[in-house]
Amino acid sequence: MTTLFSGEPASLLALALLVWVLSGMGGWILAAMTKVSSLIFGTGGMVAALCVIVAALQILQGGATVQAMLPVLPFHAELTELNSLILLAMSVTALMSTLYACAWMANVSARKRARSGLMCNLLMAALTAAAISASAVELVLMMEMAALCAYFMIVQTDDVKSRRAGLNQFLSGRAGTLCLILAFALLHHASGSVNFEVLRHVTFTPGIKSLAFVLALTGFGLYAGIIPLHAWVPQSHSSAPAHAAALFSSALMKVGIIGIVKVGLDLLGAPPLWWGLLVLLLAVLTAFIGGLYALMEHDIRRLLAYHTLENIGIILLGVGGAMTGVALNLPVLASTALLAGLFHLFNHGLFKTALFLGAGEIEMQTGIKDMEKLGGIARLMPWTAAAMLIALMSMAALPPLNGFASEWLLYQSLFQLSTSHVFIARLMGPLLAVGLALTGALALMCIAKVFGVTFLGTPRCQAAADATPAPLAMTFSTILLALLCVISGVASPWIIPQFSAVAASVLNTPVLLAAQHGVAFSPTSAVSAPMVAILLLGMPLVPWLVAVLLRGARLPNRSRGDAWACGYAHSPDMVVTATGFAQPLRVMFAPLYRLRVHATPASLVGALHRGWLGAFCRRLAFIELAVLLVVAFA
């Protein structure tokens, strides 16, 4: 046991896994004792997340790939810079989600507290183990366990909506696992091994490589929610508790993205050009359709889930650009694109977790998820409103926040793609940049919709009018994540070199020269995030100074009253609604919105969601999770 507390990365990771599992089991056993069980779940989750953060930072500083057997646990781990990056992204958001969950669990029933605490801890343990897996068997088993934990968090409310969402997630997860088993079985047949280190040094035939990649892309794409493999995402994020939805978005789906990076750029050698083009097409489709469907949603968590799909597409634009750069022998393009994708993967976890936790606060204080019934929340929950505004601005890639930094890097990689010597690359570069710009415009509209309809105006129902600030732990977790969005954006010139080193380790190329010197972007179009921040902070002072200097005694102080309504008495019914805000786009893109109806006919959906199938899958999920836990402990 002394090696478990040595402070080495492998020891810290083993300690984190044990703490997650033991605290989950302990809190589950003592669930009837509200304060004790909440303290066990929360303290254990935060201690484990801190251990993973420290281990990830140590691996990033070390730089070398290490194969290690975890102390105490019979688990063969691969500690690489890429793995440490996803560990860092997951554990930072898990730390804040656990802090939020401490307050949430104190206000729910013992049954819900027991299931949510246990499954959240097991989910993070499984995802952490999946991220450091050294073989395909470990990876698939851990991802399957994580998907089953997610299923039980989705169906814990046990209403019709949750059961339908759980069934969609269960079927999608099993299909994804089956595709991964087929992909790695094919590689095992050709190489005789499923160990990642062995697979890296095997030369596969083009047919086996391509078939394995397509299967792996489908399997990991189902976990990541790539459109059209996304059916489980919106309903699941709306049905699960807010902190669980944040973990789905920032951890579970991101492991799927890292799986695509590992297979497409690491295990199978240099990809052919069509791999990169396929990923780019799926990426821009996912980003645009995700943003478009988000604008039509009134359920705030479903809206955020569709925006998660949008950002999954943006991350995949970086991954696809890197694969295309490798295929075209353009190392600067590959490095810039992968750097942008990995940096956005990290940034998205910060602002999306803040948004889900903020939405959870509103739901807890009002009992409402429908934005049509909210309004005026900013005056009643000011700290939550400020944190969500910052996170929304980051989601829309507004400077100087972190979303802007990573998306600007992505634009630079797409501009480099347009200068390629291959015609198809020159054609796709500008088209993809335009698609990314349209996606950004949709995200800006979502800022106006979510913040304007939810936080501004007057309350549209009594529950919204009676809202009070959320518990301190909830509010603090959201504010801290919003501050991290600001810090990682302003400090991006110093953070980006670390991500550039990770991209270089995956591609086996030198670290980008621009990143080494702390320039946030390409040498021809560098942008200083700190200077942008200073200018933006200074701009509001200019009108105030002008008013002070020129006002004199001519302008009286303003008087406040009801909003002007053309002479009529103002009422909440006059405030803009979410439906009215999005109606022009609904008309403009009506054919695209009708695709969902045609792709999922009512007869097929009704047959799929008959009672017997959901009940059968629920029993099957329980048996499968029990078997996997026995296998893991054995």
Task: Output 454 or 556, whichever has higher pLDDT.
Answer: 454
C-beta of residue 151 within 8 angstroms of C-beta of residue 166: yes
C-beta of residue 406 within 8 angstroms of C-beta of residue 343: yes
Distance of alpha carbon 54 from alpha carbon 95, whole angstroms = 12
Residues 6+ apart with CB under 8 A from 155: 162, 163, 165, 166, 239, 618
| Look-up of token digits 């646990």 | 73
The domain segmentation of the chain, as residue ranges, is 1-134, 315-536+573-578, 579-633
C-beta of residue 214 within 8 angstroms of C-beta of residue 180: no
Range in 206-215, 382-391, 582-591 with the lowest mean pLDDT? 582-591
Res. 357 pLDDT band, cuts 50 70 90 = very high
Residue 472 pLDDT exceeds 80:
yes
Q: What's the one-letter identity of residue 495?
A: I
Res. 588 pLDDT band, cuts 50 70 90 = low
What is residue 398's predicted lDDT score, i.e. its pLDDT? 87
**CA-wise closest residue to 428 among 419, 437, 438:** 419
For residue 254, what are its two tokens? 């991101």
Distance of alpha carbon 579 from alpha carbon 165, whole angstroms = 24
Distance of alpha carbon 512 from alpha carbon 427, whole angstroms = 25
Residue 516 pLDDT exceeds 60:
no
Give me the percent of the chain exceeding a pLDDT of 70.
85
What is residue 150's predicted lDDT score, i.e. its pLDDT? 92
Residue-wise DSSP of 429-482: HHHHHHHHHHHHHHHHHHHHHHHHHHHSS--SSHHHHT--PPPHHHHHHHHHHH
Range in 466-480, 499-513, 551-565 with the lowest mean pLDDT? 551-565
Sign (positive or negative) of CA dihedral 19, 22, 24, 26: negative
Distance of alpha carbon 313 from alpha carbon 334, whole angstroms = 17
C-alpha angle 178-186-85 in degrees, rounded to nearest 5: 70
Residue 200 pLDDT exceeds 50:
yes
Res. 319 pLDDT band, cuts 50 70 90 = very high
What is residue 556's predicted lDDT score, i.e. its pLDDT? 60
Name the packing angle between helices 611-633 and 160-191 (round to 10°): 50
Residue 284 pLDDT exceeds 50:
yes
| 590-610 tens-digit pLDDT | 666 666 666 666 666 666 666
C-beta of residue 261 within 8 angstroms of C-beta of residue 279: no
Task: Output 559 or 463, whichever has higher pLDDT.
Answer: 463
Distance of alpha carbon 464 from alpha carbon 368, whole angstroms = 8
The 10 Å Cβ neighbour count of residue 560 is 5
Residues 6+ apart with CB under 8 A from 63: 81, 501, 505
For residue 493, what are its two tokens? 């010139």
Average pLDDT over residues 454-475: 85
| Look-up of token digits 């909003």 | 563
Query: Can you say how many angstroms the Cα of residue 63 is from the centroid of all Cα atoms in its chain?
Result: 25
C-alpha angle 346-347-350 in degrees, rounded to nearest 5: 100
| C-beta contacts of 465-470 below 8 A and 24+ residues apart | 465/376, 466/366, 467/362, 467/365, 467/366, 467/377, 467/380, 467/381, 468/365, 468/380, 468/381, 469/365, 469/380, 469/381, 469/382, 469/383, 469/384, 470/103, 470/361, 470/364, 470/365, 470/381, 470/384
For residue 314, what are its two tokens? 């943006």
Distance of alpha carbon 491 from alpha carbon 494, whole angstroms = 6
**CA-wise closest residue to 461 among 540, 575, 356, 359:** 575
| 26-84 tens-digit pLDDT | 888 887 777 788 888 888 899 999 999 999 999 888 777 778 888 888 888 888 889 99
**CA-wise closest residue to 435 among 289, 331, 293:** 289
Q: Rounded to the nearest 10 degrees, how much is the dihedral formed by the CA atoms of 189, 190, 193, 199?
A: -140
In whole numbers, what is the pLDDT of the chain averaged over residues? Answer: 84
For residue 539, what are its two tokens? 């701009």
**Residue 285 CA: distances (Å) to CA of 28, 229, 346, 541:** 42, 12, 21, 41
What is residue 595's predicted lDDT score, i.e. its pLDDT? 67
Average pLDDT over residues 291-311: 89
What is residue 310's predicted lDDT score, i.e. its pLDDT? 92
Residue 523 pLDDT exceeds 60:
no
Average pLDDT over residues 282-305: 89
In three-state form (DSSP H/G/I as H, E/B as E, the rest C), the secondary structure along 313-332 is HHHHHHHHHHHHHHHCCCHH
Distance of alpha carbon 475 from alpha carbon 485, whole angstroms = 16
What is residue 559's predicted lDDT score, i.e. its pLDDT? 62
Residue 589 pLDDT exceeds 90:
no
In three-state form (DSSP H/G/I as H, E/B as E, the rest C), the secondary structure along 22-72 is HHHHHHHHCCCCHHHHHHHHHHHHHHHHHHHHHHHHHHHHHCCCEEEECCC
Peptide bond into 584 cis (omega under 30): no
**R_g of the chain computed on alpha carbons:** 24
Residue 438 pLDDT exceeds 80:
yes
Residue 568 pLDDT exceeds 70:
no
| 121-167 tens-digit pLDDT | 999 999 999 999 989 999 999 999 999 999 999 988 777 888 888 88
Range in 230-234, 378-382, 516-520, 617-621 with the lowest mean pLDDT? 516-520
Q: What's the one-letter identity of residue 246?
A: A
What is residue 514's predicted lDDT score, i.e. its pLDDT? 47
Query: Whole-prediction pTM value?
Result: 0.90
Res. 518 pLDDT band, cuts 50 70 90 = very low
Q: What's the one-letter identity of residue 96?
A: M
